[in-house]
Structure 1
Amino acid sequence: MSSKSPRKGEAKKPGKSIKEKRAEKRLKHAEVAVDPVRKAAR
């Protein structure tokens, strides 16, 4: 029975990681878009 609990936890982890990956991609894209603006401002 105890082996079922860890499996459920692992199944839930991928769902969160996908959302985290999307958030990271959005943050990276935002940084890339902000970088040129900062350089242009200087």
Structure 2
Amino acid sequence: RVGDLLADYGWRLVEQAGPSYFRDTYIRPTGRDVAASPLEWTALAER
């Protein structure tokens, strides 16, 4: 859905990272057992 929204404005979605990415990349390596917010999403787009 993000890709469609971006396309409406002339952008192309390159990559999208959600909570599981942040958890696995940044939280778990610290040894902490906490969840990432389901609202934490990042999108990389190019025109």
- TM-score normalized by the length of structure 1: 0.28
Question: Which structure shows the higher strand fraction?
Answer: 2
With a CA cutoff of 8 Å and minimum separation of 6, indicate the structure with the bigger relative contact order: 2
Rg larger in 1 or in 2? 1
